[in-house]
Amino acid sequence: MDKHAKIFVAGHRGMVGGAILRRLQAEGYTNIITRASSQLDLRNQTAVREVLEAERPEYVFLAAAKVGGILANSTYPADFLYDNLMIATNVIHGSYEVGVRKLLNLGSSCIYPKLAPQPLREEYLLTGPLEATNRAYAVAKIAAIELCDHYRAQYGCDFISAMPTNLYGPGDNFDLQNSHVLPALIRKMVDAKEQAKQVVDIWGSGSPLREFLHVDDLADACLFLMQHVSEPGPINVGTGVDLSIRDLALLVRDVVGYDGALAFDASKPDGTPRKLMDVSKLRELGWTARIDLREGIEQTLEWYLTHRDSELVRH
């Protein structure tokens, strides 16, 4: 991409879109288009088409999505399916109509079957039933991959799809009611340290294995893919390394400097025993993650402590 190329980052106020925006700016890209959701409802086909027609971007990063945890996905499945289908359809089709040179569609590791072998390889897509609790979201993300692939096949569009593993970093959600495990652990440890609590309670046995990718590494991978890769199908983005929730909790405790005990409640659900991405495809293409988990947690903790009283942090 030329440094003056017009680039549209859809979803720039989210954790992923924000990281992509920061990375582009750091690399010297000067012609970046953004629209807050208050300015552009991506579910509105006419509005999306009007903006794309007016701006005529050469490149599009599709990082916008309606996201949430298990509770939200289970409670509002119609909203998750409809909103994410409309966002993907409008942006992808609109990009085709105005002649976008290249589009990167971002999805999620939840697209893979619930009982797929570990680690998760790209070819496991559509080989079995999905996890019921986030099926609606996953179906929308699968549809977006299919859209990109079929616009490539039928019209020759250079549309690609990246599927990141569990993400964390600046801009994460620290709300204990609906955040993911890593930011929740940071929040719990910080609160316990400041309130001099002797014990932090943690859901589950601590035995499940999970993989974590810093969102700035994802942004780096997105720029790499946009510049160097052109092929159909999903491309996994992760570290290829996992650890137990227990070990993660111990690491977060050490980084935060909390010296209390950790109490794992095995009566609470653990979820899938293991969820690891096979990242050999992206590694062979020339990209690997660089941010060590401890280093990434230290950065995320610093960001949280700096911003926790601002509107940037979801409480």
- Cβ neighbours of residue 303 under 8 Å, at least 6 residues apart? 169, 170, 171
Residue 125, annotated ligand binder?
no
Residue 244, annotated ligand binder?
no
Residue 108, annotated ligand binder?
yes
Residue 99, annotated ligand binder?
no
- Cβ neighbours of residue 38 under 8 Å, at least 6 residues apart? none
Residue 165, annotated ligand binder?
yes
Residue 183, annotated ligand binder?
no
Whole-angstrom distance, CA of residue 315 vs CA of residue 308: 8
- What string of DSSP letters covers 91-122? HHHHHHHTT-SEEEEE--GGGS-TT--SSBPG
Which residues share a beta bridge with 48? none
Residue 17, annotated ligand binder?
yes
Which residues share a beta bridge with 7? 32, 59
Residue with tokens 């930011």, as numbered in its chain? 183
- Cβ neighbours of residue 212 under 8 Å, at least 6 residues apart? 165, 166, 167, 168, 182, 239, 248, 293, 296
Catalytic one of 96, 112, 137, 151: 137
Residue 6, annotated ligand binder?
no
Residue 286, annotated ligand binder?
no
Helices (H) and strands (E) in the chain, counts: 10, 12
Residue 287, annotated ligand binder?
no
Residue 237, annotated ligand binder?
no
Strand 199-203 with 261-265, pairing: parallel
> Tell me, what amino acid is at 106?
L
Phi-psi region of 151 (alpha: psi -120 to 50; beta: other; left: phi over 0): alpha
Residue 281, annotated ligand binder?
no
Residue 12, annotated ligand binder?
yes
User: Is 168 one of the catalytic residues?
Assistant: no
Extract the tokens encoding 211. 């993989």
Residue 13, annotated ligand binder?
yes
Q: Which residues are annotated as a binding site for substrate?
A: 188, 203, 210, 270
Q: Which residues are annotated as a binding site?
A: 11-17, 106-109, 141, 164-167, 180, 188, 203, 210, 270
Q: Which residues are annotated as a binding site for NADP(+)?
A: 11-17, 106-109, 141, 164-167, 180
Residue positions annotated with a catalytic role: 137
